[in-house]
Structure 1
Amino acid sequence: MDSLHVIKIGGKVVADEPLLTEFLDDFSNIDGHKILVHGGGNIASQISDKLGVEVKMNKGRRVTDKDSLDVAAMTYAGLINKNLVAKLQARGCNALGLSGADLNAIKAFKRQDAEIDYGFVGDVDDDSVNVPGLSKLLKMNISPVFCALTHDGHGQLFNTNADTLAAVLAHSLSKNFEVTLTFCFEKQGVLADVEDDRSVIPEIDWELYVELKEDGTIHEGMLPKMENAFKALNKGVRQVEIKHPANLLTKTGTILT
């Protein structure tokens, strides 16, 4: 079975030009099939400010209204996605920029919450990914570059969490490929002490994760990333890594088992 690397980078990486340059060099040098998933919420917030679009929050959580969705579509699928594709083409990596709507690649449904109306936020399930279509692209040595937008199949776009997209792509495509899923963010890995970048925990299994969650070592933004990671492992992904983007081609970081 062919190998496949699904790699997710956040908006902080996209906005850091020297770091992004180094990352894209390394991504282009990965042998075999690969998919890049990117965020960009901080850049979308900057564009919203320039356009006078209010960033709306409800109980500390971002809400995507119609104006915010328009900004997300322009920023994620346009500005960020096409710049990444152009930079990868310059490195000889034959990339194709996609949203979930393109090729019917990733369908979603509106998030339902009894307390908060998230607006145009979409969630995905195990049957969301067009596995045959994406597999054909990968077999053609095309590297998809996904922004964090999905669709419902009836003409409506949704804003969807990029970590979740990376995880669902990884475990869905594990039917046809041996998949490694990598989350790249600003830390060196999962840290025992969030203030000490040297305190990387090299390997975490489910039992250790539960302990670290209960004692508060892993909390807040890291929790959904870890939940997505273990869900992917349980559904067929060979390996999950959490690391700094500068270490993409090294063994430095945290491996989940």
Structure 2
Amino acid sequence: MKPVLSVVKIGGAFLEEPGLVESFTSAFASLEGHKILVHGGGQRATALSRRLGVEPRVVDGRRITDADSLEVAVMVYAGWANKTLVARLQSLGCNALGVSGADAGLIRALKRPAGEIDYGFVGDIASVNAPGIANLLAAGIVPAFCALTHDGRGQLLNTNADTIASELAVAMSDKFTTRLLYCFEKAGVLRDVSDPGSVIPRIDAAAYADLRAKGKVAAGMLPKLHNCFQALEKGVDQVFIGAPEMLTPGHAIQTEITL
């Protein structure tokens, strides 16, 4: 039987409030078995960009990254956000190591070609160094990935954190039973965004198509759900969306994504 690996992605919104950081890191540190953390930092990057006079641009939930925006992303994602989480996890006895895709060549990406939309220095993942990550896990290290990759020629690339989490789970599925968990501020995917209690317990491909057709899925949720289904199609065993409480055994309120 393959060992279980949980790949947990946390949204950058949690980093803006100390109480949310504490609740998430406590739940994550208590999660049993092998685990990988992937985090965002978009809210802090947006705020810092504006303070520096760089107006951020986002299309369909994805950030457009020019040269100035990339500098801000590196400052926030690989710096403040990453080390804030790592320091907190270390205080809880979780041996986290903050990394980007460039560190140890763990995630290589290709700069997205300019098309109808030029996303700038945005990377689409080309390969994941699964043996390198497995070595870290075997050494008792918990990798904490920020949303940056590299092209192997010295260029850092901004890469969607949801996609990084999905690709990591897929790459590790040969040697592990992989669980992909997207944690954010809601208890799950909501049928009515104004009603926090309207959590949809299960979404399959047909239900997703229906929700999209009826305009029931918010723009920021679209790429997340897309990554969920891709992960399942490529061998990930389970995918969930919900609040950090879903990391706690016995917690029942969440959205499971199924094929």
Task: Give the TM-score, by structure 2 length.
Answer: 0.94
Q: Which amino acid aligns with 1:54?
A: V
Residue by residue, what CA displacement relative to the aligned partner does 1:176-210 show, whole Å, maximum 9, x if unpaired? 11010000112111111111111111111112222
Paired positions, count: 254
- 8 Å CA contact 1:11–1:40 kept in 2: the answer is yes
Aligned to 1:233: 232
Q: Distance in 2 between matches of 1:228 and 1:16?
A: 27
After superposition, residues 1-257 of structure 1 pair within 5 angstroms as 1-50=2-51, 52-57=52-57, 62-125=63-126, 128-249=127-248, 250-257=251-258
Relative to structure 1, is the Cα distance of residues 59 and 168 closer, same or farther in structure 2, using a 3 angstrom cutoff? closer
Q: Where in structure 1 are there 5+ consecutive unaligned residues? A: none
Conserved 8 A contact 2:50-2:56: no
The residue matched to 1:108 in structure 2 has which SS? strand
Moved more, 212-221 or 65-74: 212-221
Structure 1 47/56 Cα, relative in aligned 2: closer, same or farther at 3 Å?
A: closer
Paired residues of 1:243 and 1:252 also in contact (CA < 8 A): yes
Q: In structure 1, how many angstroms separate the alpha carbons of the residues matched to 2:247 and 2:165?
A: 16
Task: Tell me, in whole angstroms, the C-alpha distance in 1 between the residues paired with 2:211 and 2:50.
Answer: 38
Cα contact 1:19–1:246 (8 A) shared by 2: no
The CA distance in 2 between the partners of 1:219 and 1:103, in whole Å, is: 36
Name which of structure 1's ranges 229-238 and 41-50 shifts more when overlaid on structure 2.
Answer: 41-50
Q: Closer, same or farther in 2 for the Cα pair 1:59/1:174, shift >3 Å?
A: closer
Computed over aligned residues only, the root mean square deviation of the Cα atoms, in angstroms, reads 1.5
Query: Which range is displaced more, 87-96 or 112-121?
Result: 112-121
Gaps of 5+ in 2: none
Shift of 1:11: 1.0
| Compared CA separation, residues 58 and 34, structure 1 to 2 (3 A) | closer
Spell out, residue by residue over 1:55-103, the C-alpha distance to the aligned partner (whole angstroms, 9 max, x if none): 2437676321112111111111011101111111110000010000001
State the 1:218 CA deviation.
Answer: 2.0
> For residues 59 and 182 of structure 1, do their structure 2 counterparts lie closer, same or farther at Cα, with a shift above 3 Å needed?
closer
Within 1, Cα distance between the matches of 2:211 and 2:175? 33
Pairwise CA distance, 1:219: 3.8
Give the Cα–Cα distance (whole angstroms) in 2 for the partners of residues 158 and 43 of structure 1. 18
> Structure 1 residues 58 and 7 mapped into 2: Cα distance closer, same or farther (>3 Å)?
closer
Distance 1:92 1:59 in 2: 39
Change (3 A) 1:238 1:91: same
Q: Distance in 2 between matches of 1:58 and 1:228?
A: 18
CA contact (8 A) 1:85 1:96 kept: yes
| Distance in structure 1 (CA, Å) of the matches to 2:165 and 2:239 | 11
Identity %: 53
- Cα separation, partners in 2 of 1:203 and 1:12, compared to 1, 3 Å: same
Residues 7-64 of structure 1 deviation map (CA, whole Å, 9 limit, x = unaligned): 00111111121011011011000111001100001101222233x2412437676321
Find the aligned partners of 1:189 and 1:104 in 2 and give their Cα distance: 33
SS in 1 for 2:98: strand
* Inter-CA distance 5–59: structure 2 relative to 1 (3 Å threshold): closer
How far, CA to CA, are the matches of 2:58 and 2:238 in structure 1? 35
Q: TM-score, normalised by structure 1?
A: 0.94
